[in-house]
Structure 1
Amino acid sequence: MLKTLHRAEADPQLPGWQAYVVDQGWDRFSAEEHETWDILYARQAALLKGRIVRRFMDGLGKVGLDVGGIPELGRLNARLAPLTGWRCVAVAGLVPDEAFFAMLAARVFPIGNFIRTRAELDYLEEPDCFHDLFGHVPMLADRAVADAMQRFGETGVEAIAAGHGDKVARLYWHTIEFGLVREEGEVCILGAGLASSFGEALKSLDDPAIERRRFTPEGAVATPYRHDAMQPLYLVADGMDAVVAALAGPLP
């Protein structure tokens, strides 16, 4: 039986996506939870050297996620916002797609206000604060990606309103969450779901049983995905410019 994912509840007194924003509750994180972050950070930062797109490593050095323990969002935003105008807000779990894409359109990224247990270090189905912060935020420090993500949020809002939510979700999944990119002749990790997962990061690049197809926007929107297990298929973009163009362009 699949576990039930944590769904954020909306505050009916607040408008739109703001209804899902909660206090991060940074003071309530335990010493063990901060230590879990440190273990995850040290392990992933070492693992990803030479295996992830350069823009991720450049951004990782700019946003200050290595300060020790789970980052406090106010301090993080003080570094991120001057770079690209993005900021992070805390949520209590997964938010509906309409709210999620509206957040992106407003240059806001939702961060889960919880972290995985020690038993889930290698793989976690539900995105926690490590996935959200470590996996996504470094890329938001890159101006081209940051601008494309805002445009993609606007596209997502429009697509859902037109009944094409499945298409925009697939394009997001096969790029920002689980995409691979070819840089200087080598296949590298892009997606946050891979960047934040010790087990799947290695599997996506090294497992000969995994299928890897060339990325096109048309192929991405037509390709289903698994949210409850490691992926059997990854799409490989020809470069970061191809990903940025896909996110900033019209939905196929």
Structure 2
Amino acid sequence: MNPFKIEGACQLRGDYAQCAADYSVRQDYARYTEADQVLWRRLYARQAKLIERYAAPEFIAGVTALDMADEIPRFDRANALLARATGFELVAVPGLIPNEVFFAHLAQRRFPVSVWLRREDEFDYLVEPDIFHDFFGHVPLLSNPVFADYLQSYGRQGLAAIELDAVEPMSRLYWYMVEFGLIRTPQGLRAFGSGILSSGGETVYCIESPEPLRIGFDVERVMQTAYRIDAYQQTYFVLDSFEQLFSQTRGDLRELLLRVRKAPAIAATQTRPGDRIIGL
């Protein structure tokens, strides 16, 4: 989703002048320069060295299948692979898009991906998600059937949340799972969130650092927990399996959303009775 608030297209990086009503655009592949391709290969090489140690096996399998080491990915080629795997489709967008449009795309098994690439001076950090964040970070798990089904369900529930004025709890769920989620594996804790796995520093930090809290996943707890967008996370939530995420969030979440909407937010540094703290 867009955990960031959109104040106006003029304040965003992407070119919104040519987008359709659903904010889709054409991936004009010829616009990528050779410098862009070099930057992509450097970004990929940095993260490829890290994911074997720190990423969930399902994420690694998706990266391998997409074969994106040598050039900025072409969406039509990725869509052919995703169609066979899960029926998901990538939609090129200028950048961040309104929540209702984002939810609607997910509900139709369409995942929006920004078309622009960061600048060289943003190699280690940028505010808005670019094509590297979106493609390298998100697209690999779209080939996993359980995670793909979860995202479609999330989109449908997000549309209902708009009607209930309860988008913030859904934003927190997306932030702590899709962007910054961890999962238990036989090899130990591993990351699957896009915000983690597209970041050289946080990929290591989320697994190795003793500083952040790591709490076992509970959907209501996640929906109540505030987050920051300008620093490494102070809390990570840990799944036992992707099936756990889908099972706790399938069905009608209206009653839960209304309850959480009225509850005070929990600070990201705060623990609560009943929290299942996960050690390193």
- TM-score normalized by structure 1? 0.90
Distance in 2 (alpha carbons) for counterparts of 1:82 and 1:248: 24
Match among 80, 92, 96 for residue 78 of structure 1: 80
The number of residues matched between the two structures is 244
Q: Alpha-carbon deviation of 1:46?
A: 1.5
Q: Match for residue 141 of structure 1?
A: 143
Q: Match for residue 63 of structure 1?
A: 66
| 1:223 matches 2:257 | no
* Higher mean displacement: 148-157 or 115-124: 115-124
SS at 1:205 equivalent = helix
Distance in 2 (alpha carbons) for counterparts of 1:114 and 1:11: 14
Distance in 1 (alpha carbons) for counterparts of 2:32 and 2:144: 29
Distance in 2 (alpha carbons) for counterparts of 1:10 and 1:169: 27
Q: Alpha-carbon deviation of 1:122?
A: 2.1
SS at 2:233 equivalent = coil
Q: Alpha-carbon deviation of 1:240?
A: 2.3
Q: What RMSD in Å do the two structures reach over aligned CA positions?
A: 1.9
SS at 1:65 equivalent = coil
> Any stretches of 5+ residues in structure 2 without a counterpart?
1-10, 257-280
1:8 and 1:94 in contact (8 A); partners too: no
Structure 1 residues 201 and 80: alpha-carbon distance in aligned structure 2, compared to 1, 3 A threshold: same
Q: Alpha-carbon deviation of 1:9?
A: 4.2
Match among 46, 49, 55 for residue 52 of structure 2: 49
Q: Runs (4+) of structure 1 moved beyond 4 Å? A: 7-12
Q: Match for residue 34 of structure 1?
A: 37
Q: Alpha-carbon deviation of 1:11?
A: 6.7
* Higher mean displacement: 103-112 or 231-240: 231-240
Distance in 1 (alpha carbons) for counterparts of 2:15 and 2:176: 24
* Higher mean displacement: 131-140 or 48-57: 48-57
SS at 1:50 equivalent = helix
Distance in 2 (alpha carbons) for counterparts of 1:8 and 1:216: 38
The aligned amino acid for 1:153 is G
Distance in 1 (alpha carbons) for counterparts of 2:43 and 2:16: 28
- TM-score normalized by structure 2? 0.81
The aligned amino acid for 1:227 is I
Distance in 2 (alpha carbons) for counterparts of 1:117 and 1:203: 24
Structure 1 residues 46 and 244: alpha-carbon distance in aligned structure 2, compared to 1, 3 A threshold: farther
SS at 1:22 equivalent = coil
Q: Alpha-carbon deviation of 1:153?
A: 0.7
Q: Deviations over 1:116-163 (max 9, x none)?
A: 122222222211000100111110001111112111110111111211
SS at 1:49 equivalent = helix
SS at 2:214 equivalent = strand
| 1:154 matches 2:188 | no
Distance in 2 (alpha carbons) for counterparts of 1:8 and 1:107: 24
2:14 and 2:116 in contact (8 A); partners too: no
Correspondences of 1:1-252 after superposition (within 5 Å): 5-6=12-13, 9=16, 14-15=20-21, 18=22, 20-66=23-69, 68-184=70-186, 186-251=188-253, 252=256
The aligned amino acid for 1:140 is L
The aligned amino acid for 1:145 is F
2:146 and 2:242 in contact (8 A); partners too: no
Structure 1 residues 82 and 185: alpha-carbon distance in aligned structure 2, compared to 1, 3 A threshold: closer
Structure exhibiting the larger radius of gyration computed from Cα positions: 2
Distance in 2 (alpha carbons) for counterparts of 1:154 and 1:25: 30
The aligned amino acid for 1:58 is A
Distance in 2 (alpha carbons) for counterparts of 1:11 and 1:71: 21
Q: Alpha-carbon deviation of 1:90?
A: 1.2
